[in-house]
Structure 1
Amino acid sequence: VRPRTKAAVLEPALGLPFEAAPMLAAAFVLGLTTQGAKIATDTIVQSSVDDGYRGRIFSVYDVLFNVAFVGAAAVAALMLPPDGRSASLVVTLAAVYTAIAVAMARFEMQ
């Protein structure tokens, strides 16, 4: 089973109870999944970009990746209720992970 498929299944299963232990497990699994995807993308960038552009392309990509993390935290701070629990957001994220997993699977079959 691919990491993105695991993320789509485990995120709601571990996140919806809103308990500390399952939430920490979900954060750990999603962190591994995210870093695995970043490592794969870093490898593709380093192997497919010409030497003269590699440093600049990698720098821009890395900045955009990190800005996405900060942006996600800002959006979460604005969207979440004061207690930080939103079942609809957990389900929405699971749907997004599922859509990405399906799109990636279709792309890989081509």
Structure 2
Amino acid sequence: MTTRAIGQLTHLLEVERAALLKGDFETVGALIPQKEVLATQFEGAGAAELRLLASALARNSTLFATAREGVGTILTTLNQQRAARTTLSSYDSSGKATQISQPKRGTERRF
């Protein structure tokens, strides 16, 4: 891997980090082809250069995991809100939890 290629990959990882911190997943996705090309050029890289790249990759990997958790939390919250609009949880006289559902609305016809 040439010094120029290492510099380019390091720069791309910094751009990716900034995009992850902003939640700009379009930019993250657009960087993938460039990263794939540069990732094939590791031949001749020194140990110090590889440690620098490994550190940047580990940092971005942590950000990816955190972003994935955040998206999962958002999906869970949205599903709970959707369920709350259609179903009401309550307790009956014996203390058992019950679900009170709204019937699905259809077209009302009046003649």
Coarse TM-score class (shorter-chain normalised): 0.3 to 0.5
Q: More helix per residue: 1 or 2?
A: 1
- TM-score in terms of structure 2 length: 0.34
Greater relative contact order: 1 or 2 (C-alpha under 8 angstroms, separation 6 or more)? 1
Highest Rg: 1 or 2? 2
- In terms of fraction of residues, the more strand-rich structure is 2
